Amino acid sequence: MNAPRKINATAVEPNVRRGGEIRVTLSPRTVGACSGFGGVLDLAPGDHVTEHYHPYSEEFLHVVTGELRLWLDGDPVDLGADDSLLVPIGVRHRLVNVGTAPAHVVFHLSPLAPRPELGHVDTEAPRDESRPNVDVGGAP
């Protein structure tokens, strides 16, 4: 049996390109994952993650703290602490913190796209195009 690979979210560079702080903790790059990737999202009040979709992966979201509105193909879904939601493959989604406190979300996507650059399609301009897109693929 392979030894478990533990990683703390604070050890991972946050992706702030699309809004919030997205930290991919478990991925092919960080721990050698081969079936999906996941991590955490921290989103300040009023902040949002720009609209995008995943052509190969389902996205599983679990809200730990906060009040969020997720737009799925333009339809709103309100989420609060302890709510979980499945975003199906190919569904456009945008996440907004509609509360007065920071939000903390755990996410997982599976299966992996054939190549990392194919896994995410922006449908709204990134918040900060000057920031690098943190890649989940490749060797750890």
Query: Tens digit of pLDDT for each residue in 7-20?
Result: 999 999 898 989 99
What's the CATH number where 74 sits?
2.60.120.10
Predicted confidence band of residue 3 (pLDDT cuts 50, 70, 90): low
**Does 55 or 115 have the greater pLDDT score?**
55
Integer-rounded Cα radius of gyration of the chain: 14
Are 121 and 54 contacting, i.e. CB atoms less than 8 angstroms apart? Answer: yes
Task: Classify 108 as helix, strand or coil.
Answer: strand
Mean pLDDT, to the nearest integer, of 15-43? Answer: 93
Q: Does the residue 124 lie in any domain?
A: no
Q: Does the residue 8 lie in any domain?
A: no
Q: Number of structural domains, the chain?
A: 1
Mean pLDDT, to the nearest integer, of 51-62? Answer: 97
Predicted confidence band of residue 116 (pLDDT cuts 50, 70, 90): confident
Q: Does the residue 136 lie in any domain?
A: no
Mean pLDDT, to the nearest integer, of 20-35? Answer: 92
Q: With 60 as the cut, is the pLDDT of residue 35 above it?
A: yes
Q: What is the largest CA-CA distance in the chain?
A: 45
Q: Does the residue 127 lie in any domain?
A: no
Q: Does the residue 101 lie in any domain?
A: yes
Q: Does the residue 11 lie in any domain?
A: no
pTM for the model stands at 0.90
d(CA 136, CA 140): 10
For position 5, what pLDDT does the model report?
86
Q: Does the residue 13 lie in any domain?
A: no
Q: Which domain holds residue 91?
A: 19-115
